[in-house]
Chain A
């Protein structure tokens, strides 16, 4: 009896019957069934956000030129920070440099945003500026790895991997954690790796640095020789073999896992390329994101893909925009970076909003640190981990809010300080996960993303 019902179930799978139905039916049929480790899981408490889009501005975008308005810099232009602050913050040989860009208040909230982000500024009332952000070290390699894994000293699972471990993913036909054009260095794959968590939770990279996104492919997603029909025939034969084995080894629940994995893979083959193919998007949508339009084309594609992925049920999507490390040519290069990203980001926010998805999609913008308001080179700013700005939108955070603050010049965070660990704790919290309870046992103890740190910024939660 048991064998029969099991076989029926397995056959129904090959006809495209869903995983959930299978899990329910099979649970009655056998003691220990294969547990899909990516199946959606209940959070610890009610979640505000269901998914995350992280817009990683790699290199450290200057906060005092973008989202952290510091009028005092005008007044003290050319003075050393020591003179300006009465002896504190004495940085030898540096002179305070006001932003070459003008700030204006935007929206009903009146958030001050610089003219570098005219499109994003239109969403001021959705933005929660995290002006008190800070991190441990002002070096790219460590700070970027800490931003992604919470720890730069040891190889640790990335934020996205923890999230999949905690929540599973909603669409089993797609990877649950996708990172678009991740940097190959500065931690490389460590930034989206699973470390000691099971490998299944690692991120799936699409495209790479310095490669146009339109040429990006996902590995092993297409068979170069077979049509879908021919491959289906092949898989049918394969599954008949697997089902026979499952019949012979009814106590080996892993066989069920293998059977499912082929069905999922087969569906993934058609689901992923469909999502990567932007031809079904309307002209209006492509224009909105600035696709086909010079500087905004590539990041526009990334943002549109992000929207398509989260809409399809991907849990965690990261996009990378490189080269925010303006030690020199600030005016030209920060300007061009913002030009390339402003419209696409604004489009993403608008698009999520009109699809009523912004309310439970957490969008995070920021780099591994910010830049110094006091400069040595008149057209450049250096690394600053003591104070910088990230921002969040949607996903249950308050809009139109400036949370935290740096000092009068933007040198260091002084109010509602928001460390990278706090960013992680708050992100998990918004997803319904308690960062102190999301643990994994490795090497004899329970590890967590935030180690012993992390504080949820309650004040930003709507």
Chain B
């Protein structure tokens, strides 16, 4: 079956029409057609399936003989003489497609159609066969907002010049003033400092850090704080994880056979390092698409750029797929999907089977991109084993360069151990056989004959098992010790590829020259040379100044992470089905300045965080609530639930247990190659760690519980926005999970050890968990709780009140306030 990402039925029809096209159009047949078939076609079908249809459906015309036989996007409508393969009949019978959609035709009419097809489908109608192909008028299509060149609009004049401190503020305020709205008061310093820490580094400020800022909340002090956070290594861990959502980062193949990717973590670390180094976003993009083709000044840079191309290798893989061509085209599809959605905000993969239904992306453009990725070899590893029909290779990061290497057998040691065991059994079985044969001599009795037969069969089986597992299909290139392995891509046999009809990998149409999306090509695009895959040129095209999408999409993502919502709310879809920007001029302002400042993500973040708009409080305002209940115009700050990682990291931070040193590799690397659920039990990945959450193993179908309960995105699919659900499983996790209980105990110990005074302890606990001191009533309730709980405890336990204090600390960690920022 073909792939159908955009929901079109694709039928594989084996018969060619040429062979059966000439039907016996005798006068009786024609009469039958005129009497029974044509009237039905005209009255029931033409409104959607004729040259005069207002909107042609499914690319199918039924108003000429040739077109009827050729069929539409789903396959041949009529195959003369063959009921089984005539989609028209199947549709009339409502056995797949259901036509006409409103109501099924009467049985007698359908029977007439069947008779007609059996007769050879006589049909006198002539005329052109080609359904007027939908020609995209690109000039017209480029009038859509996101395909317009990125402008550099002047900041508007505003009435309240004092409030508006920056250009960003002027764009925001102008829209508010137009609606007679005013921004609410600023957030208090405690709220602001907590917000800034979580937004920039994904961690809460320590009590001392809060005190420091509250003592001097001046703009200069805030700017200094922001700069410090931007420079801290935690910035990359926070912002790198945002990117990992978008690129469906996962450490296994997912799908029906879930093989581990023990080397995917290198790509994760590359992403974190890139954000920390403030790598210009255009370079960051280019490295991920074509890092292997870029010049490198050192071997470590060569390695890093290779690892960057892991973007194209870490997607899901259907390892059980038998059809190699389809498997290859599925990888290409994943690469087109991630490239177009992550960088361009377009659902390019929808054009695999047909022209894009909503956006001006023709089928042809998809295969122009597909040619680029077909000219690329993807190194994703996965060990050889039963069930893996599509084992891949990896890239060795050697001291003298990068080269492909075979992956070893999944479960390596275990399999070798198994073969050794079999070899021993084999020896024993051979001895047994010899013995029986000797005893039996020429005429074995029944028992002996059976034993001989049984042992012979056993030997045969053991011989197979005793063979050491082959290490991959191709001989492994020698890899020295301490050479790292990576996932990634390299150019391979560059050539154009053919359109695959209706997305069916094996049905080839015309060859399409490698190239890019026509709609987003506003200037000249680089030419792809014969010897090049075109990935480097693709990256150049995406990052050239005239590309209307890349910079807009990138700044919009950044804005979303700081305000809780993008200027374009559908961050992965800037097409017709996406939402329109709430502040189009602000978006262009940010995008053009982003490009002008050498695509610096840190400068972009800095300019947004230092705007007045970012510092707003979240107090309600009745008037604004009425005019703009969704806060689209940004008259206040949005309440935001922390992401799963930030919740977990904040727990570890409050308990004092967080090990903020970068995680080494990944647990998946330690566990190694294998089939998760078969040779590797998923429980092996559920191991406690006190590293930041970004370093936890992200195995598809086995995401760590602490992340999963708080809406960690499905790592198999490209995700631009986190869901926020509030459900009892989260409450149960905070109430009973061993991780939370353990961290509550650590936090309690920290609080108890710090001071002997109960109210000081409560204060510290509040400061650690919520970045503030308790109100009077809260203090009283806390003390009551501690005393009450201690009184109930056994005398021996009451000594340090550990149980009471850990119960209290858990309350703070479990509170709504803990997991929300204002």
* Interface, chain A (partner B; CB < 8 A): 31-32, 34, 37-38, 136-137, 139-142, 144-145, 152-155, 175, 183-190, 193-196, 198-200, 204, 219-226, 230-231, 233-235, 237-238, 240-242, 244-246, 249-252, 254-255, 257-262, 264-266, 268-269, 417, 441, 443-445, 447, 451-453, 455
Min distance, Cβ A309 to any Cβ of chain B, angstroms:
16
- In the A-B complex, the 5 residue pairs with the smallest Cβ-Cβ separation, listed nearest first, are A141-B256, A185-B677, A257-B726, A265-B731, A184-B677
Candidates B97, B316, B578; contact of A444 at CB < 8 Å: B578
Which of B198-206, B533-541, B717-725 is the interface stretch?
B717-725
Say yes or no: is B810 at the interface (Cβ < 8 Å to chain A). yes
Q: Quick check: B625 and A251 within 8 Å, CB to CB?
A: yes
User: With A and B bound together, what is the CA distance between A154 and B318 in angstroms?
Assistant: 9
Q: Quick check: A186 and B814 within 8 Å, CB to CB?
A: no
Of residues 61 to 112 in B, which have CB atoms within 8 Å of A's CB atoms? 94-98
Q: Quick check: A221 and B736 within 8 Å, CB to CB?
A: yes
Q: Which residues of B contact A258 (CB under 8 A)?
A: 726, 731, 816, 819
Residues A141 and B320 in contact in the complex (CB < 8 Å), given A237-B781, A245-B815, A251-B620? yes
Q: Quick check: A245 and B816 within 8 Å, CB to CB?
A: yes
Q: Quick check: A249 and B681 within 8 Å, CB to CB?
A: no
Which of B211-219, B555-563, B700-708 is the interface stretch?
B700-708
Q: Quick check: B725 and A199 within 8 Å, CB to CB?
A: yes
Q: Which residues of B contact A37 (CB under 8 A)?
A: 725
Candidates A220, A234, A443; contact of B807 at CB < 8 Å: A234
Q: Which residues of B contact A190 (CB under 8 A)?
A: 254-255, 701
Residues A245 and B676 in contact in the complex (CB < 8 Å), given A221-B736, A265-B728, A443-B718? no
Q: How large is the interface on B (under 10, 10 to 19, 20 to 34, 35 or more residues)?
A: 35 or more
Q: Quick check: B725 and A200 within 8 Å, CB to CB?
A: yes
Q: Quick check: B815 and A242 within 8 Å, CB to CB?
A: yes
Sample (9) of A-B pairs whose CB atoms are under 8 Å apart? A141-B255, A155-B716, A188-B677, A198-B725, A225-B803, A262-B814, A266-B731, A266-B735, A445-B357
Say yes or no: is B180 at the interface (Cβ < 8 Å to chain A). no
Q: Which residues of A contact B255 (CB under 8 A)?
A: 141, 145, 155, 187, 190
Q: Quick check: B735 and A265 within 8 Å, CB to CB?
A: yes
Return the chain A residue nearest B573 by Cβ.
A444
Chain B CB within 10 A, most for which of A152, A252, A268: A252
Of residues 323 to 349 in B, which have CB atoms within 8 Å of A's CB atoms? 330, 341, 347
* Interface, chain B (partner A; CB < 8 A): 1, 3-9, 94-98, 254-258, 316, 318, 320, 330, 341, 347, 350, 357-358, 387, 570, 572-573, 575, 577-578, 618, 620, 625, 629, 639, 641, 675-678, 681-682, 701-702, 705, 708, 711, 714, 716-718, 723-733, 735-738, 741, 775, 777-778, 781-782, 785, 788-789, 792, 803, 807-808, 810-812, 814-817, 819-820, 822
Q: Quick check: A249 and B618 within 8 Å, CB to CB?
A: yes
Return the chain B residue nearest A456 by Cβ.
B94
Candidates B3, B723, B811, B820; contact of A199 at CB < 8 Å: B723
Q: Quick check: B717 and A195 within 8 Å, CB to CB?
A: yes
Candidates A184, A198, A235, A445; contact of B577 at CB < 8 Å: A445
User: With A and B bound together, what is the CA distance between A202 and B318 in angstroms?
Assistant: 22
Q: Quick check: A34 and B7 within 8 Å, CB to CB?
A: no
Candidates B95, B258, B788; contact of A417 at CB < 8 Å: B95
Return the chain B residue nearest A448 by Cβ.
B7
Min distance, Cβ A219 to any Cβ of chain B, angstroms:
7
Min distance, Cβ B57 to any Cβ of chain A, angstroms:
12
Q: Quick check: A145 and B256 within 8 Å, CB to CB?
A: yes
Q: Quick check: B732 and A185 within 8 Å, CB to CB?
A: no
Return the chain B residue nearest A223 by Cβ.
B736
Candidates A184, A240, A444; contact of B682 at CB < 8 Å: A184
Q: Quick check: B717 and A183 within 8 Å, CB to CB?
A: no
User: With A and B bound together, what is the CA distance between A144 and B256 in angstroms?
Assistant: 8
Candidates B575, B726, B732; contact of A220 at CB < 8 Å: B732
User: With A and B bound together, what is the CA distance between A249 and B815 in angstroms?
Assistant: 14
Min distance, Cβ B538 to any Cβ of chain A, angstroms:
21
Return the chain B residue nearest A227 by Cβ.
B792
Q: Quick check: A268 and B708 within 8 Å, CB to CB?
A: no
Residues A183 and B677 in contact in the complex (CB < 8 Å), given A32-B629, A34-B726, A141-B387? yes
User: With A and B bound together, what is the CA distance between A223 and B711 in angstroms?
Assistant: 23
Q: Quick check: A240 and B95 within 8 Å, CB to CB?
A: no
Return the chain B residue nearest A143 by Cβ.
B256
Q: Which residues of A contact B714 (CB under 8 A)?
A: 155, 193-196
Q: Which residues of B contact A220 (CB under 8 A)?
A: 729, 732-733, 735-737
Candidates B702, B723, B792; contact of A198 at CB < 8 Å: B723
User: With A and B bound together, what is the CA distance between A234 and B822 in angstroms?
Assistant: 25
Return the chain A residue nearest B808 by Cβ.
A237
User: With A and B bound together, what is the CA distance between A220 and B711 in angstroms?
Assistant: 17
Q: Which residues of B contact A260 (CB under 8 A)?
A: 726
Return the chain B residue nearest A249 by Cβ.
B639
Min distance, Cβ B726 to any Cβ of chain A, angstroms:
3
